[in-house]
Structure 1
């Protein structure tokens, strides 16, 4: 636990939340500033700052709970779809430095726009970046 983390305080019961699911490894609750009503967060009970700090052995439990909560959100809201997102580090929009997944119900014509796309300057530039990423995996 991190003493100054709002999500750790929710896990500890020090701050109230609209909790919708709890398991051994995770807790899920409605976001207090939803993009669309039903927008929820699934977080690990233990404090990890972001995806890159999560232990691999926690992955199955997290994914299982994300799927379960996501299906419940779609069912309860009547959504036609669901976005799953995770922001990692401030530059990516992470506001609370405790790993968390956003589950956002989606409806036809809801007006939510994700992000604009752009083309690579050339096929060669794309292939060079792919090679650089592959080399970083080594």
Structure 2
């Protein structure tokens, strides 16, 4: 399921300098900018310069360098903004508001009102059901 190539990608426009954004990081392989609708001040989006819709679409040799940028941004949330920690997250397709791979790096404070994950948790019926899910995933990764 690919994106509509005729529709402009907001993040590609930011990368190309065609749309304004408050840039935080410019690297040969990635760009980071402040989220236009931040959870907290300093909420940053990290995107690869090349258009890739989801994490599985990012070439394997680019995953490590891309997440090194996320690591640096996470550290900056604490060292520069004085945050107690950070929340680092991404969506792939579901709840992905812009179909261009992006990682949210959000400064956090204790009792800041952000309640971990924003969706209900679902327990496994028992250990056997959990073991079945783990076995299915292990089998998929073995191929």
Structures share fold, TM-score greater than 0.5: yes
For 1:1-138, what aligned pairs fall within 5 Å after superposition?
4-89=8-93, 92-115=94-117, 116-137=120-141, 138=143
Using the size of structure 1 for normalisation, the TM-score is 0.92
What whole-Å deviation, never above 9, does each CA across 1:72-95 have from its counterpart, x for those lacking one?
222232110111101001xx3101
Looking at structure 2, the residues matched to 20 and 2 of structure 1 have their Cα atoms a distance apart, in angstroms, of: 28
Counterpart secondary structure, 2:113: coil
* Deviation at residue 117 of structure 1 after TM alignment: 3.0
Structure 1 residues 2 and 51: alpha-carbon distance in aligned structure 2, compared to 1, 3 A threshold: farther
Counterpart secondary structure, 2:105: strand
Structure 1 residues 43 and 2: alpha-carbon distance in aligned structure 2, compared to 1, 3 A threshold: farther
* Deviation at residue 114 of structure 1 after TM alignment: 2.2
Q: Which moved more, 1:4-13 or 1:55-64?
A: 55-64
* Alpha-carbon contact 1:50-1:88 (below 8 Å) kept: yes
- Aligned positions, number: 136
More helix by share: 1
* Alpha-carbon contact 1:2-1:47 (below 8 Å) kept: no
What whole-Å deviation, never above 9, does each CA across 1:2-26 have from its counterpart, x for those lacking one?
8610000000000010001111100
Cα RMSD between the aligned structures?
Answer: 1.6
Q: Which residues of structure 1 form unaligned runs of 5+? A: none
Structure 1 outlier segments of 4+, above 6 Å: none
Using the size of structure 2 for normalisation, the TM-score is 0.89
